[in-house]
Amino acid sequence: MNEQTERLTELVRGAARIVVFTGAGISTESGIPDFRGPNGVWTKYNPADFTIDRFLASAESRRRYWKRAAESWETIRKARPNAGHLAVVELEQMGRLSAVVTQNVDGLHQVAGNSPEKVIELHGNTRRVACLACKHSVERETFQALVSPEGDAPACEQCGGLMKPATISFGQMLDPETLERASAETERCDLFLVVGSSLVVYPAAGYPLMAVQRGVPLALVNLQDTPHDTYATVVVRAYAGEALPGVVERARAGTPTPFPLAN
């Protein structure tokens, strides 16, 4: 165990209201490709083809969307939580986890065992499909079986509106209530732990800075540099599944040493 990992263990041991903020990096360890990496989704597809405006524009655009969505759904459907996800569940079982704020749409935190009410999904959840008009939603597994190989998707059974995975597309507004929940948890936390996020997408990347402004320690577990590294109390360069289980296990075994917050 290196010095940075030991420091992270001390921070977790002394915290009672941890916000864990996760990005694509924690899910790539479960076999879900990220969007912006060297082998990411956007190396195969043009992001401009998958904006909300393009989705609404024509039936052909929607068929293209659903054909790509079918491919990504099959990957997500088969994915299983990894050791990093399970370590976050253990934090909740220890009574230390205030919330998981995630940029991911794969639902793996809930599959791993985190309480759904603890998970704040900034960009939605691809495990459900929702009507853009009346918000009626159904399980993705059920709906996907009704989408044709050509990408023709059924209309909403309630109002006849367009159905779309319950995720945020480019150009689509994030849910204000979800953003407010994330802000409120950030304002209450005593440790902000970022796992596997590049911290380049706003407004999501602003939450760690909110915590820092309150004098709350910021911890980063990420393989690559981020724009927020200079603000962090500790930076651990490692896979989540390699670093987090040991940190959580040692924090559970130790004696809490609370970190004093700035006034």
**In three state form, how does the secondary structure of the chain look?**
CCHHHHHHHHHHHCCCCEEEEECHHHHHCCCCCCCCCCCCHHHCCCHHHHEHHHHHHCHHHHHHHHHHHHHHHHHHHHCCCCHHHHHHHHHHHCCCEEEEEECCCCCHHHHHCCCHHHEEECCEEEEEEEECCCCCEEEHHHHHCCCCCCCCCCCCCCCCCCEEEEECCECCCCCHHHHHHHHHHHHHCCEEEEECCCCCCCCCCHHHHHHHHCCCCEEEECCCCCCCHHHCCEEECCCHHHHHHHHHHHHHHCCCCCCCCCC
Q: Is 124 left (phi over 0), alpha (psi -120 to 50) or beta?
A: left
Spatial contact of 194 and 233, defined as CB atoms under 8 Å apart? no
**Which of these is catalytic: 85, 123, 136, 228?**
123
Task: Please give the order of strands across the beta sheet that includes 137-139.
Answer: 137-139, 124-131, 163-167
Residue 123 appears among annotated catalytic residues: yes
Q: 50 is written with which tokens?
A: 């998958």
Residues forming the active site:
123
